[in-house]
Amino acid sequence: MTVIIDGKACAKKVIEELRKKTKNLDKKPSLAVILANNDPSSRIYVASKERQCLDLGFNSCVYRFDENIKQQDLIKLIHELNENDDVNGILVQLPLYKHLNEQEIIELINPKKDVDGFHPINVGKLNCNLEPWAICCTPKGIIKLLKEYNINLVGKNVVVIGRSNIVGKPTATLLTNENATVTLAHSKTKDLKEITKNADIIISATGKAKLIKANMVKKDAIVIDVGISKQISGKLVGDVDFENVKNVASYITPVPGGVGPMTIACLMENTYELFKLQNQKA
């Protein structure tokens, strides 16, 4: 019988553990979020972060900018947040407006406040199998989900679809560090079906609705769906043709309710861990 992986329940466990660790602190962890785009999904995501901070009693400040924001204004803000001891985590919601240089902004963030784990120093530490100050939230959440369900990664043949710096690449690195055998597929990959049919675990992060069909998945494979798309009807769907693939897979994540809640939970966990780093007595 196929197990539907419950991301909401797993995220709740992470949040409740954080609540125990932080409830008696005199000073609370603090997260600063920069929103400089007009993407509706980004605004929804930032609002979710705000609500979760409020629920945990974390301090949260969101800096919202319209398209008139200049690169120098963001640079100035990053410097101010880096120097502010009351700010533990800095998050720049991507993408930024097209006229802004994302990489320059990311590299300006103090890597010990880089709550998303996007700074080249944190990426480099992860790739060297060292301990970054923060690990990208979605990949971290994926690994937590797999471990929560006691899924052994050692020696498993894993296909990660999507090579973004936010999800695909760091997920592949984390899996490699867990001793899985990883194939990183992408838009230029030839005969994707031939590759996925041999996978013990498939992790798809492309944003292409129902890309993964049942005939692309071997019997009892584990399927993790990171993608999310909105259909004309307004229904949210993932990269995976869930209704058909669930009849083949042994474990599968739903959309919504799978990886998404874990991303927020891991963001809160990263904020707390950076808070501890900056307040060693906490």
Q: Point out the residues that are catalytic.
A: 49, 93, 116
Instruction: Compute the distance between CA of residue 117 and CA of residue 135 in angstroms, rounded to an integer.
Output: 5
Q: In one letter, which amino acid is 245?
A: V
128: nearest Cα among 164, 176, 182, 180: 176
Q: List all residues 6 or more positions away from 200 whose beta carbon is below 8 Å from its beta carbon.
A: 156, 157, 158, 221, 222
Q: In one letter, which amino acid is 260?
A: G
Ordered DSSP codes for 22-58: HTT-SS--EEEEEE----HHHHHHHHHHHHHHHHHT-
170: nearest Cα among 218, 197, 203, 215: 203
